[in-house]
Amino acid sequence: MLTLALDGTAAMPVNGAVQTWVTLTDKSKLLAEQDGIAFGNKAPLPLNIEVDAGKRYQEMVGFGANITDASAWLIQHRMSASQREALLQELFGKAPGLGFSFTRLTIGASDFSLKHYTLDDVPAGQTDYPLAKFSIDPMRADVLPVLKRALAINPKLKVMASPWSAPAWMKSNDNLVKGTLRVEAYPAFARYLEKFADALALEGVPLFALSLQNEPHFEPNDYPGMRLDPTARANLIGDHVGPLLATRSQPVRILDWDHNWDEPQSPLQVLADPKARAYVAGVAWHCYLGDASAQTQVHDAYPDKETYFTECSGGEGNALWPQTLPWNMHNLIIGATRGWAKSVLMWNLALDENYGPHVGGCGDCRGVVIINSKTGEVTRNLDYYALAHASRFVRQGAHRIESSTGVDRIESVAFQNADDNSIALIVLNSAADSRRFSVSFGGQSFEHTLPGTGVATFVWNASP
């Protein structure tokens, strides 16, 4: 089959050259560049991945991780200036950097903060409906410097934010832990989110998107959280947050849900409300329950709404490379993006050797990197390599394109970059033993053998 490029001309690999990078779960190869492969006129093997750039899907915003308070504090206070710069260049810089182009902030504290707080705290028994005490000062020491440097390294970095809790005085239980938002506080909470967006803009940080609440169906026992059921979210979006943000000169996308795959009915209920639906740009998802098919279910019901994957974290209890790296590739890099996600974000960008600092919540969560709290030395976790196989080669503005997948445990996802027409094909061998397969594109093919549980990224130039 002759595949057409975006301009309608025949897409043929330039000089037949294919660059290849491989990661193996015995760690003998970690994003290791291999000898080049040549496209040729040989017939495809029975096990073949067919890539078709004529079939395009979602445009990518990017890959990355959340800049939590803990991550930023470690980068700012447990690394030397040279270590800090080297790490941020590595994570956000162009190749050989990872090119992270999407991140997420917490609006106030999460479990990965040094204390519990919001951006408008007042003494118990008091309120602040005019939001006179609102301030982003808690972000100035750590989060803002790291974020601004990341933006300087990658000016295309898109920033999302989510609150873990409204200020206690807005809540039913007057506490950051558990509870829900008082109905009479809806207008103040909407202004709270608007003031956050405005304050970031004054710092030179445009806010790309926000969600109303991180994991709105979960009330954690020992760190900030807040239940917001679909009716509450629809009312907040339709009557308060949506109209308020629509008046801003710099648009901010509103993303609903920001929670697990196992309850697609919750965002579907919000999107069924016509008033809320008018302001919802898309739906954000987490990995902890269910599977990525939920993303397609919601997308198919509302194909004009965008899909984002915004949080997943492994714990050290499931850090076995032969099981966990394939899980990440199958569910996140391949599964989430084949399920229409424009982004894939891991949870903490960085944690220390003790899986912290944190106050409550997960006691063994992995950061994408470990920063040794005494030396500033960096260790790259398996999540780093899962992200790297996509983020280094799939640039913001790329489109997912068609690729065959799932035959004999060989899974794939393919993208075409907008700036140079290059194709990036990411392949997982989820079997325990090796597989030899071919990749066909534009009437030509190449062959590769990938060891069991291995991952490969293939890149070639598709210009005519």
Q: Domains (ranges, CATH) in the chain? A: 14-59+400-461 (2.60.40.1180), 62-396 (3.20.20.80)
Separation between Cα atoms, residue 219 and residue 222, nearest integer Å = 9
Over 80: is that where the pLDDT of 10 sits? no
Strands 102-107 and 158-163: parallel
Q: What is the mean pLDDT of residues 402-416?
A: 98
Separation between Cα atoms, residue 98 and residue 96, nearest integer Å = 7
Residue 13 confidence class, pLDDT cut points 50, 70, 90: very low
Percent of the chain with pLDDT over 70: 96
pLDDT at 11: 40
Separation between Cα atoms, residue 279 and residue 253, nearest integer Å = 8
Over 70: is that where the pLDDT of 424 sits? yes
Phi, psi angle pair for 283, to nearest 5°: -125, 135
> Strand, helix or coil at 163?
strand
Structure tokens at 55: 């079939």
pLDDT at 318: 63
CB atoms under 10 Å from CB of 8, counted, come to: 9
Q: What is the CA angle 325-330-333, rounded to 5?
A: 85
pLDDT at 76: 98
Residue 314 confidence class, pLDDT cut points 50, 70, 90: confident
Helix orientation angle between 321-328 and 382-391, rounded to the nearest 10 degrees? 30
Q: Considering only CA atoms, which of 245, 241, 300, 239 is closest in space to residue 267?
A: 300
Separation between Cα atoms, residue 274 and residue 278, nearest integer Å = 6
pLDDT at 316: 74
Over 60: is that where the pLDDT of 8 sits? no
Cα-based distances in Å from 300 to 295, 307, 339, 340 = 9, 11, 10, 10
pLDDT at 14: 43
137-171 tens-digit pLDDT: 999 999 999 999 999 999 999 999 999 999 999 99
Average pLDDT of every residue of the chain = 95
171-198 tens-digit pLDDT: 999 999 999 999 999 999 999 999 999 9
Over 90: is that where the pLDDT of 457 sits? yes
- CA torsion 170-221-68-135 (nearest 10°) is 20
CB atoms under 10 Å from CB of 157, counted, come to: 22
241-295 tens-digit pLDDT: 999 999 999 999 999 999 999 999 999 999 999 999 999 999 999 999 999 999 9
C-alpha 215 chain-centroid distance: 15
Q: What is the mean pLDDT of residues 34-61?
A: 96
pLDDT at 317: 63
Structure tokens at 403: 């690729």
Over 60: is that where the pLDDT of 307 sits? yes
Over 70: is that where the pLDDT of 4 sits? no
Place of tokens 């291999």: 34
Residue 464 confidence class, pLDDT cut points 50, 70, 90: low
What is the DSSP secondary structure assignment for residue 170, as one 8-state letter? Answer: G
368-403 tens-digit pLDDT: 999 999 999 999 999 999 999 999 999 999 999 999
Structure tokens at 431: 């079997």
Separation between Cα atoms, residue 384 and residue 369, nearest integer Å = 7
pTM comes to 0.96
Over 70: is that where the pLDDT of 113 sits? yes
